[in-house]
């Protein structure tokens, strides 16, 4: 059984809920990521997507808008030892772009659709070599 731990991106970039949306956008651009787990007091409280941040920053007068005001408050959180097939199935069914990997209350990783596509590509390459 393959687990989320095997394919997650460890130690993901995060942001505090009281940071500004401009700061979040800057961090996403700098890190080249599209999702930021949102923390308050070291605990996962939400998820900010690049799309949501871009929408808000395209409006005027957003200098003081906080991440907490824009984030999705109920991110899809999974454990590192959860079965990858179940996580991918849930992401596909619910049309989610990421799963935040938590161990206890600590965010230890993120699994995104890009990670899933890399797995698919690897699988397709192996099948092609076998003459699938």
39-91 pLDDT tens trace = 999 999 999 999 999 988 887 677 789 999 999 999 999 999 999 999 999 99
Q: How many angstroms separate the CA atoms of 112 and 7, rounded?
A: 9
The tokens 């199935």 sit on which residue?
89
CA-based nearest residue to 43, from 115, 100, 111, 112: 100
Domain count for the chain, please give it: 1
36 phi, psi to nearest 5 deg: -125, 115
pTM of the model: 0.89
CATH number at residue 86: 3.10.580.10
Contacts of 13 (CB under 8 A, 6+ apart): 27, 28, 31, 33, 36
**Can you give the residue range of the structural domain that contains 55?**
4-129
């Amino acid at each position: 059984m393959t687990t989320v731990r095997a394919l997650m991106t460890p130690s993901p970039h995060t942001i505090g809920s009281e940071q500004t949306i401009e700061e979040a956008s800057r961090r996403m651009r700098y890190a080249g990521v599209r999702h930021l787990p949102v923390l308050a007091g070291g605990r996962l409280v939400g998820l900010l997507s690049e799309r949501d941040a871009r929408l808000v920053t395209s409006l005027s007068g957003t200098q003081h808008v906080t991440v907490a005001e824009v984030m999705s408050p109920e991110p899809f959180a999974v454990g590192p030892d959860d079965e990858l097939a179940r996580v991918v199935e849930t992401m596909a069914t619910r049309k989610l772009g990421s799963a935040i990997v938590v161990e206890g209350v600590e965010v230890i990783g993120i699994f995104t659709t890009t990670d899933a596509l890399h797995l698919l590509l690897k699988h397709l390459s192996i099948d092609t070599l076998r003459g699938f």
